[in-house]
Amino acid sequence: MPAVKLTASEIGMLWIQYVQNTMTIQFLRYFDETVEDEEIKSVVQYAERFSSTVIEDIERIFKEEELLVPDGFNEKDVNMEAPKLFSDGFIVMFLGNMGKAGVLAYGASLSASSREDVRQFFSRCVTETTELFNRAVDVGLEKGIHVRPPQIDVQKEIEYVGGKKYLSPFQKRSLNTIEISHLFENIKTNMLGEAICAAFAQTSTSKEIVAYMKKGENISSKHIQSFSHVLNVSEIHPPMGSNSLVTNSTTQTFSDRLIVFLMSVLSTTGQGNYSAASTASMRYDLVLTYQRLSVEVALYAKDGLDLMIKHGWLEEPPQAPDRNELITHSSN
């Protein structure tokens, strides 16, 4: 066992990655069972092997450090006998988003780590999720289901901003390429969220969870419309949604605990995306739009947190000792 103990940051990052990978692998196991295209199946299996390795490595580190291994999620959280719920096109989108989110999450975990073995672990994770993203994009392009960002004509000479009019929310200039990129990607992630919410709403047996998922579907739909409108005004075509991402299956496929936890993860990711987009955008109307919609996502995430607490589904991350409680206990 390494002589240097894990830092609080390292424990926290390893903990959340363990829990999230035990959730993700339930989807991947189900995808492996239901995917029809063999080339997409190979990407699913690559992701499945990667998540399994992450789970095993973190479990080993925790046991070596004599830390409690989180419960996370397991085979009880997925019905492997359920009919096909997601199309192969959705699975490619899911894998691509998993790779993209993984590069960011593992990169952040790496930057917060100090111990050599932990840095090496997260470095491998960054490499593997980059490979996953590339494989998902490649197979998506080959199958004609990967949505490319738009191509535009740009000025031939370097220009500098001539005044505050460039930032104005009232005299709106055409979008720059950075703003287009964020709008486009946020539409795509909301399309994925909309499909996930629709699938969970039609398969959950709990009226409470169904209502929560329908609310999430409506939020995603509204955000897609908002971002698409901005692109349309600049005569840029937004990515088109598809009603074929989810099948007509109504059989419960995933546990309510798992699907609410996933919505929590997606909401957190969405807030991060909106924050990055707000910071990168140089038109004040876009900044205000991202900030306003981010509040809506935060409130939705809180509703999910309340649901998890209500039903006893929320596993506590490792935390520092409460010194006041220790002092009180020792004095009794």
In tens, the pLDDT along 267-294 reads: 999 999 999 999 999 889 999 999 999 9
Q: For the chain, what is the radius of gyration of the CA atoms?
A: 22
pLDDT at 195 over 60: yes
276, 183 Cβ separation under 8 angstroms: no
What number of other Cβ atoms are within 10 A of residue 56's Cβ?
11
Instruction: Find the helix or strand (DSSP H, E) in which 76 lies.
Output: none
Residue 167 per-residue DSSP state: G
Please enumerate, as own/partner, the contacts of 164-173 that have beta carbons within 8 Å and a separation of 24 or more.
166/282, 167/282, 167/283, 167/284, 168/283, 168/284, 169/283, 169/284, 169/285, 169/288, 172/233, 172/283, 172/285, 173/283
Indicate the range of 67-71, 154-158, 198-202 predicted with least confidence.
154-158
Q: Which of 78, 20, 89, 7 is nearest to 54 (CA)?
A: 20
pTM of the full structure: 0.90
Give me the domains of the chain, ranges plus CATH numbers: 1-146 (1.20.1260.10), 163-320 (1.20.1260.10)
Q: How confident is the model at residue 327 (pLDDT cuts 50, 70, 90)?
A: low
Count of beta carbons in the 10 Å neighbourhood of residue 162: 7
Instruction: Check residue 148 and give its pLDDT.
Output: 84
Residues 6+ apart with CB under 8 A from 297: 219, 267, 270, 271, 274
Mean pLDDT (the chain) is 92
C-alpha span between 206 and 204 (Å, rounded)? 6
Task: Assess whether pLDDT exceeds 70 at residue 322.
Answer: no
- Report how far apart, in Å, the C-alpha atoms of 244 and of each of 89, 160, 162 are: 8, 45, 47
pLDDT score of 330: 59
What is the phi-psi region of residue 123: left when phi exceeds 0, alpha when psi lies from -120 to 50, beta otherwise? alpha
59-118 per-position pLDDT tens digit = 999 999 999 999 999 999 999 999 999 999 999 999 999 999 999 999 999 999 999 999
Q: What was the pLDDT predicted at 325? A: 65
What's the token pair of residue 3? 């002589």
What's the pLDDT band for 157 if we cut at 50, 70, 90? confident
For residue 53, give both structure tokens: 């390795």
Q: Is residue 244 very low, low, confident or very high in pLDDT (cuts 50, 70, 90)?
A: confident
Residue 234 β-bridge partners: none
Using alpha carbons, select from 81, 88, 37, 93 the residue that is nearest to residue 247.
88
Residue 36, amino acid: E
pLDDT at 332 over 60: no
pLDDT (mean) for 12-31 = 97
Alpha-carbon distance of 30 to 27, in angstroms, equals 5
CA 259 to chain centre: 13
Q: 143 with 40: CB under 8 angstroms? A: yes
Given a cut of 70, whether residue 202 has pLDDT beyond it is yes
Which residues are bridge partners to 86 per DSSP?
Answer: 246
Percent of the chain with pLDDT over 90: 80
Task: Name residue 32's amino acid.
Answer: D
